[in-house]
Amino acid sequence: MPDDILLSVQRPLALPSAFFPTTTPASYSRADFGPDFHWGAACAAYQVEGAWQQQGKGPSIWDEFTRRPKAIARGEHARVSTDFFTRYEQDLDLAQSLGLTDFRFSAAWARVLPEGVGAVNRRGLDFYDRLVDACLERDLRPWLTVYHWDLPLALQQRGGWTNRDVVGWLANYAQLLARRLGDRVQHWMVLNEPMVFVGAGHALGIHAPGRRSLPAFLAAAHHATLAQAEGGRALRDTLPGSARIGTTFSCSYVTPARPGHGPSEAATRRVDAVLNRFFTEPVLGMGYPMAELPALGWLLRRYQKPGDVERMKFDFDFWGIQNYTREVVRAAPWLPLLGAALVPAAKRGVPTTEMGWEVYPESVYEMLKQYAAYPGAPELYITESGAALPDYPAGGRVPDAGRVAYYQAAIGQVLRARREGIRVNGYFPWSFTDNFEWAEGYRPRFGLVYVDYDTQERIVKDSGRWYSEFLAGARVEVARTL
């Protein structure tokens, strides 16, 4: 094994309690999760499909954003990516051979509706039809995300998420997918991580459409909240009664930099409200978390219309919880609106992944506990969880011991939650194969399966092999050291 493989997993050895939390059950097997637990893996259209101009697909905001100089690390883009559009059968064969029971993917809105609304691109819709059939032929239950960040460019030209019409556009697109695929797809998710595409795309400018504007952020946030619920209603009106309709939330467990210190604790509550509660509480009819964020609440009023609190509600069958890390928060009274700042993991001397995210597997458990505590919370699934580590093929294998340890701990934390009675019924590693990691390009590798981007060769990583053995029933003795 080349020395540098261990680069990112050497530092954790200095802090074994964080990397190997003792709260993780020491040993477990698949049987401990019961026979109905869903074991999948996840991906998203823009990150894997490639074929950006093939068979009538229209341009998306990511096709445009990746063309901007300096927007993406090393000037990379996803015009080819892992070429899932032509290689999906091969990838699904691999997923089946590893023993997965479920497969999560998204549809590219501009592949189905090149202009976002109006004329349907039959060949685009046919692709998802074949993809769904290909999953079912391999006994993989398809989980379809309606919107995973790739808005049609034509809609962006009409204001995109800042235009309230997006609520209707999304509902119309969701309905189109439901009409065509609803006889075979049972699990649907309306949005992928609204806080990320709204925040990174409209406030920070680091994701498409690259806006850095508070009004754009507020408008997009409110319209995403409305679209989330309206999309749910559109699906429910169209799909058979047996369909399971969900949506997904990004989240990070937040802890104060100075526990017990009033301002630090209060700052942590404000960050929690933004990162973890903002899109969830309106769904339950609680409105936005205004008590913690009065200024934001006041500013948001401009975009709200009478009846919106009711419109933002929807009784989802499940929530997809997506967690990678925790955040440590300190008070920063000079910063407007939030008065809080995140203490970067690098400054805290904790183990991190290639994304700079702290390795903190207990975050998965903490977030499940937090979401399950809402009165009226539906069934939960971990629809994303994973780690980017530097992977190198060596002798036909990819030895990624750090990722194996990460999954052992994270899945163990899901079991911990289940043992406490939390209704969490599935786990989807992010990601099935390596893929295009948005602004970070191809360098961060999240896959259970390695992709050689020059040859499109796939190599199952040791983590993929481990997952497969676990799914075949092997008992896991959870790693305590590397």
In the complex, the residues that contact ligand FCB under the rule CB under 6 A are: 44, 47, 192-193, 196, 250, 322, 384, 430, 437-438, 446
* Number of C-beta neighbours around residue 3 at 10 A: 7
Active site residues: 193, 384
Q: Is residue 41 within 8 Å of residue 9, measured between CB atoms?
A: no
Q: Between residues 33 and 432, which has the closer beta carbon with respect to ligand FCB?
A: 432
| DSSP assignment of 58-79 | PPBHHHHHTTSTTSSGGG---S
What are the two backbone dihedrals, phi and then psi, of residue 134, each rounded to the nearest 5 degrees?
A: -65, -35
d(CA 209, CA 149) in angstroms, rounded, equals: 10
Q: Between residues 256 and 447, which has the closer beta carbon with respect to ligand FCB?
A: 447
Nearest approach in angstroms of CB 355 to ligand FCB is 7
d(CA 14, CA 8) in angstroms, rounded, equals: 12
Nearest approach in angstroms of CB 287 to ligand FCB is 25
Q: Is residue 110 within 8 Å of residue 58, measured between CB atoms?
A: yes
Nearest approach in angstroms of CB 473 to ligand FCB is 29
How far CA 168 is from CA of 85, 247, 304, 386, 443, in Å, comes to: 28, 17, 16, 33, 37
Q: Between residues 111 and 180, which has the closer beta carbon with respect to ligand FCB?
A: 111
How far CA 51 is from CA of 46, 58, 84, 320, 431, in Å, comes to: 10, 11, 9, 28, 20
Q: Between residues 24 and 322, which has the closer beta carbon with respect to ligand FCB?
A: 322
Nearest approach in angstroms of CB 387 to ligand FCB is 9
Q: Shortest CA distance to 108 belongs to which of 134, 76, 146, 80?
A: 146
Q: Between residues 196 and 341, which has the closer beta carbon with respect to ligand FCB?
A: 196
| DSSP assignment of 99-113 | T-SEEEEE--HHHH-
Nearest approach in angstroms of CB 60 to ligand FCB is 14
